[in-house]
């Protein structure tokens, strides 16, 4: 399928590694012009080289998207470099876990600052450019924890459910302008961050982290955890021309773990 993304101008936040990097490369393979932003300039420069090699045009903007000024700088810099903005894929941000009985409220604020507030702020900044063309796509990588709270993941869960609520509200606000806003909710995915999080448990048990990841996947109906490229493929479709009638939706890519209906 031709996603009709050649020449489209995109920003991918959290684009230096993991799912964000895979999303940037998926867009690049379709011929998009992609600005990747994250905190690490060295990692971003490497991704830009990969974008160019994949058939896209890469641009890097090192920034901390907790800062409103940094968000504005990234959006303005991308618009200046590419002549506008058509696509935003928000993938920046994570949150530290902690038992809810001992969790400081400040840790919740920390999780919200980058993921929930950063996603909304970046969306608000790119929408005027999309309205100019009467076309735009915003894709939020929200994570499945938003609808699966437990005693150890409340900072992440609250940040993700805020993203899902903003996804629906933003969609309602801009769908008449030709702008589609949707979300993807991955479960455990085979990224370096997932490995880092599992490493402490692997060390405690004296086991290999690969074994723990395999066991986690085997507990899912899908029988394995996701690969970041699989998440990116859906993100590329949600950012595309053929995706023309998907409004305010969350696509769960969690191996069938979610039990809620719908």
Distance (Å, rounded) from C-alpha 109 to C-alpha 244?
Answer: 35
- CATH assignment of the domain containing 47: 3.40.50.720
Residue 151 lies in a domain: yes
Task: Establish if 204 belongs to a structural domain.
Answer: no
pLDDT score at 94: 76
List the helix and strand counts (H, then E) for the chain.
9, 7
Residue 128 inside a domain? The answer is yes
pLDDT at 90: 98
The angle that helices 154-174 and 105-112 make with each other, rounded to 10 degrees, is 40
pLDDT computed for residue 206 by the predictor: 86
For residue 233, tell me if it sits in a domain: yes
11: Cα within 13 Å, side-chain hemisphere:
37
Dig out the tokens for 261 from the structure.
């209906």
Contact 187, 255 (CB under 8 A): yes
Domain of residue 57 covers 9-187+226-251
Those residues whose C-beta lies under 8 Å from the C-beta of residue 221, and which sit 6 or more positions away, are 255, 256, 257
Q: Is residue 93 part of a domain?
A: yes
Q: Quote the pLDDT of residue 166.
A: 97
Q: Residue 25 in contact with residue 232, Cβ under 8 Å?
A: yes
Task: Tell me the pLDDT of the chain (262 aa) as tens digits.
Answer: 899 999 999 999 999 999 999 999 999 999 999 999 999 999 999 999 999 999 999 999 999 999 999 999 999 999 999 999 999 999 987 777 788 999 898 988 988 998 999 999 999 999 999 999 999 999 999 988 778 888 888 888 999 999 999 999 999 999 999 999 999 999 999 998 888 878 878 888 888 888 889 999 999 999 999 999 999 999 999 999 999 999 999 999 999 988 777 6
Residue 40 lies in a domain: yes
* Domain-located, residue 84: yes
Complete DSSP assignment for 150-181: -TT-HHHHHHHHHHHHHHHHHHHHHGGGTEEE
Could you tell me which of 157, 12, 145, 150 has the C-alpha nearest to residue 78?
Answer: 12
Rounded to two decimals, what is the model's pTM? 0.95
In a domain, 91, yes or no: yes
Is 198 within 8 Å of 161 (Cβ atoms)? no
How many domains does the chain fold into? 1
């Amino acid at each position: 399928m031709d996603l009709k993304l050649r020449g489209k101008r995109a920003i991918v936040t959290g684009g230096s590694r993991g799912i964000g990097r895979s999303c940037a490369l998926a867009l690049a393979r379709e011929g998009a012009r992609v600005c990747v932003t994250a905190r690490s300039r060295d990692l971003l420069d490497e991704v830009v080289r990969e974008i160019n090699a994949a058939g896209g045009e890469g641009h890097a903007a090192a920034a901390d998207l907790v800062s409103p000024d940094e968000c504005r700088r990234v959006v303005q810099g991308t618009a200046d470099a590419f002549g506008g903005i058509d696509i935003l894929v928000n993938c920046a941000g994570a949150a530290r876990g902690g038992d809810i009985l001992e969790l400081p409220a400040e840790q919740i604020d920390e999780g919200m600052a980058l993921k929930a507030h950063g996603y909304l702020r970046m969306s608000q900044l790119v929408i005027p450019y999309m309205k100019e063309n009467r076309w735009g796509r915003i894709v939020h990588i929200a994570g499945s924890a938003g609808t699966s709270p437990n005693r150890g993941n409340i900072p992440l869960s609250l940040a993700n459910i805020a993203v899902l609520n903003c996804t629906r509200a933003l969609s309602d606000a801009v769908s008449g302008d030709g702008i589609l806003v949707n979300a993807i909710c991955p479960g455990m995915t085979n990224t370096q961050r997932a490995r880092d999080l599992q490493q402490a448990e692997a060390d405690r048990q004296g086991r290999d982290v690969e074994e723990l990841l395999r066991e986690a996947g085997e507990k899912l109906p899908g029988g394995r955890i996701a690969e970041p490229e699989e998440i990116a493929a859906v993100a590329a479709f949600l950012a595309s021309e053929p995706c023309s009638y998907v409004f305010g939706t969350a696509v769960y890519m969690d191996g069938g773990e979610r039990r809620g209906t719908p």
